[in-house]
Each structure stands twice: as structure tokens, then as C-alpha cells.
Amino acid sequence: MNIDDLKQKVKTLEHAKEAVEYVLHHISEAEHYCSRVGVEGSHHGEMEYEDVLCRIEDEINNIEDALELLGVTL
């Protein structure tokens, strides 16, 4: 993978991060409405997407660190 590929991967990961944050927001909103009417939601979905978010952030950090060592800025 070359530097341009890594830069593109970071952009794609950032889009994925935004999408996962969107999902987490809506899961939280759904949980709120469900609890108001006595419907128990699932905390597993939120936990799974929080894990995905952490993996995305770790990957972004790893690539940015590697590029920084090479003197490349995004």
C-alpha cells in the first residue's frame, strides 16, 4: 500500500466513523423512546457498534502515526 492509498483509507475510515457515530446516536434515541413506553431494548447493538468505533479509531491512529513517521501530513 502506498502513501496515497493510506490517505484514502483514512478518509474512508473517517466516513465509517461518522456513520457509526450516527448509528450510535440513533440507537440511543431508540432506547430512550422504548424505555418511555416500557419496551426493553437491547444493549448488545450499542456495545457492538462502540467496539466497531474503537477499532476504526485505532486503525486511523495507526495509519496517522505511520504517516507521521514518514513525515507525511494529512
pLDDT of residue 43: 78
pLDDT of residue 7: 94
pLDDT of residue 55: 98
- What are the pLDDT digits (tens) for 37-68? 999 888 798 999 999 999 999 999 999 999 99
**What is this structure's pTM?**
0.88
- Helix pair 43-69, 3-36: axis angle to 10 deg: 160
pLDDT of residue 66: 93
The vertex-7 CA angle with 62 and 61, nearest 5°, equals 20
What are the residue boundaries of the structural domains of the chain, listed by start? 3-69
